[in-house]
Structure 1
Amino acid sequence: MPELPEVETVVRDLRPLLVGRVLLDVSNGAKRLRYPWKPTWNRRIRGLSVEAIGRRAKFIIVGLTQDASLLIHLGMTGQLTCVPDDEIVADHLHLRFRLSGGFELRYRDIRRFGGVEFHTGQASLEKRFESVALGPEPWLMDGDNWVASLMASSRAIKSLLIDQSTISGLGNIYADEALHRAGIHPARQAKSLTRPESTALLQAAGCVMEEAIAGRGTTLRDYVGGSGLGGTHQHSLAVYGREGEPCSRCGLIIIRIMIAGRSSHFCPGCQSQDIGKRGGNRVLP
């Protein structure tokens, strides 16, 4: 599933390709997406120009003229690319926005857990975000609020990290990487973390995502950026997807366990279940 670094890469790729172009028309496929495109939106987008593109957590926001916007979520396998309109049409293509200058904005999604919505007015967008209860991103999280939310939770820290209502942007990949960076076992109860451990984990979450953005995200299977190019950060992962391989820091074998139905990768040497042991008060290199 694309996480914050992948979504940020898509946004950065698309910005120079989209801004200033006019939306001429849209065609949509027959299969229903989790966030379905309504046919009544077709006529409403015609003639609107792209003014900006940004994101909020894992949502992409394409700002249009007349206070309108497209809101896109990539789900698990979504791809949003801007390509010449004569490029070969791939399988699982659900939406094609025809643009001025001979380009198309295309939304492709194998598993169909994402989609594109049309909104008018900032209030409509804010109402949509309220419905999904997005927490702050790591860089915007207040340290005291973060510590308080951990102290109040009996859940495994891995489960809390991927809960978008607590902290947004992290999924399986970067939660595992942040926990390894901070030296914290993924199965530990959130409330068992000391304040230094909690602070180190928040710092680690921001660091690993900044590094992933610099590497254009992590391509394991489906993810590509807005220009169609994949990421390179998969070559820098410390634990995620490396079950059975030696930890690059201590040499012990990386283990995969299930926590709340999700795979979690960790190093038993660097990430002890003992409180305060091994890296709990600093971000490990």
Structure 2
Amino acid sequence: MPELPEVETVRRGIEPHVLGRKIVGVTVRDTRLRWPIPSNLAALLTGKKVTGTARRGKYLLLQLSGGDRLIIHLGMSGRLFVLKPGHALKKHDHVDIEFAGGVMLRYNDPRRFGAVLPWPASEATHVLIEGMGPEPFTEEFNGDYLFDLSRGRSAPVKNFIMDGSVVVGAGNIYAAESLFRSGIRPAKAAGKVTRAQYQVLAQHIREVLGEAIKQGGTTLKDFAGADGAPGYFQQKLFVYGREGEPCLVCKTPIKCAVIGQRSSFYCSVCQK
């Protein structure tokens, strides 16, 4: 599933092509996404100009004239392509958004777990956005914040940092890599992690996500950027997906445990 770095990569990829352009047409071929596309989407978007792009967690936002927004979620297999109008169709090409100047955004989603939804200016928040924790690159997110929020929690620290109401963006891959760099085992109770450890962990979450964005995301199966190019952060993974392979630091075989129904990779020597 595309995570924060992948979505940020897509945002940066499409922004130069759509910023300042007016939407001149919308074609919806299949409304049956996880959150159904409203039948009046074309009427709501046509004539609006893109005034900015943004990201909230894993949601891509197109900011439109008049204060409206468009929320795009890539689900498990969604992709956005920047194309010329009239580009040949492929299977699962569900939505086209055409802009003045001969530019088109095409949303393709084989599994249809994503979303393309309007967010009217009259609504202060959106059901898909409300309740989210802070972004990892903000001042609000730090070790003290994690320490204070974790007190009394017996759930594994990996589950704690993957909780979107705690912080957005620390998906399975990035949680595993951040915990490895911090020397913390993923199964350790969140309430048992010290303030000093959380200071280190918060910093490594920012670093890992920042590196992944710089490298264009992580290619495991379905993800590619807006230009179709894959991400390359997978070349820098220390533990994720490396069960049985030697730790790149101490050479101990990497272990894997199921935590919260997710595969969790760690080094039994480097992580305590």
TM range, smaller chain: over 0.9
Aligned to 2:65: 65
> Are the equivalent residues in 1 in contact too, given 2:144–2:198 (CA < 8 A)?
no
Distance 1:152 1:91, change over 3 A: farther
Aligned to 2:21: 21
141-150 or 208-217: which moved more?
Answer: 141-150
**TM-score under structure 1 normalisation?**
0.90
Distance 1:125 1:242, change over 3 A: farther
| Aligned partner of residue 139 in structure 1, secondary structure | coil
Deviations 1:109-157 (A, max 9, x none): 2222211111221x525243554x1001222214322111122311111
- Equivalent residues in 2 for 1:1-285 (5 A)? 1-30=1-30, 32-121=32-121, 124=123, 126-128=125-127, 131=130, 133-140=131-138, 141-272=141-272
Q: Tell me how far apart the structure 2 counterparts of residues 255 and 142 of structure 1 sit (CA, whole Å).
A: 28
Shift of 1:19: 0.7
| Aligned partner of residue 205 in structure 2, secondary structure | helix
- Which amino acid in the other structure matches residue 167 of structure 1? V
Q: Tell me how far apart the structure 2 counterparts of residues 245 and 34 of structure 1 sit (CA, whole Å).
A: 37
Q: Tell me how far apart the structure 2 counterparts of residues 125 and 177 of structure 1 sit (CA, whole Å).
A: 35
- Which amino acid in the other structure matches residue 219 of structure 2? T
Q: Tell me how far apart the structure 1 counterparts of residues 53 and 178 of structure 2 sit (CA, whole Å).
A: 28
> Are the equivalent residues in 2 in contact too, given 1:239–1:265 (CA < 8 A)?
yes
> Are the equivalent residues in 2 in contact too, given 1:157–1:187 (CA < 8 A)?
yes
Q: Tell me how far apart the structure 2 counterparts of residues 219 and 87 of structure 1 sit (CA, whole Å).
A: 25
4+ runs deviating over 6 angstroms: none
Q: Tell me how far apart the structure 2 counterparts of residues 134 and 32 of structure 1 sit (CA, whole Å).
A: 25
> Are the equivalent residues in 1 in contact too, given 2:174–2:208 (CA < 8 A)?
yes
> Are the equivalent residues in 2 in contact too, given 1:185–1:266 (CA < 8 A)?
yes
Distance 1:249 1:88, change over 3 A: farther
- Which amino acid in the other structure matches residue 171 of structure 1? G
| Aligned partner of residue 124 in structure 1, secondary structure | coil
Distance 1:29 1:248, change over 3 A: same
Question: Gaps (5+ residues) in structure 1?
Answer: 273-285
> Are the equivalent residues in 2 in contact too, given 1:119–1:125 (CA < 8 A)?
no
Q: How many residues align?
A: 270
Distance 1:246 1:157, change over 3 A: same
Give identity over the alignment, percent. 39
> Are the equivalent residues in 1 in contact too, given 2:150–2:190 (CA < 8 A)?
yes
> Are the equivalent residues in 2 in contact too, given 1:176–1:186 (CA < 8 A)?
yes
- Which amino acid in the other structure matches residue 258 of structure 2? M
Deviations 1:25-63 (A, max 9, x none): 212233611122111121121111111111112111101
Q: Tell me how far apart the structure 2 counterparts of residues 130 and 102 of structure 1 sit (CA, whole Å).
A: 32
> Are the equivalent residues in 1 in contact too, given 2:143–2:195 (CA < 8 A)?
no
**TM-score under structure 2 normalisation?**
0.94
> Are the equivalent residues in 1 in contact too, given 2:56–2:129 (CA < 8 A)?
no
- Which amino acid in the other structure matches residue 123 of structure 2? S
Q: Tell me how far apart the structure 1 counterparts of residues 148 and 87 of structure 2 sit (CA, whole Å).
A: 51
Q: Tell me how far apart the structure 2 counterparts of residues 226 and 153 of structure 1 sit (CA, whole Å).
A: 39
- Which amino acid in the other structure matches residue 44 of structure 1? L
Q: Tell me how far apart the structure 2 counterparts of residues 125 and 173 of structure 1 sit (CA, whole Å).
A: 32
Distance 1:242 1:195, change over 3 A: same
- Which amino acid in the other structure matches residue 76 of structure 1? M
Distance 1:130 1:210, change over 3 A: closer
Deviations 1:155-175 (A, max 9, x none): 111111111001111111100
> Are the equivalent residues in 2 in contact too, given 1:18–1:82 (CA < 8 A)?
no
After superposition, the CA RMSD in angstroms is: 1.6
| Aligned partner of residue 66 in structure 2, secondary structure | coil
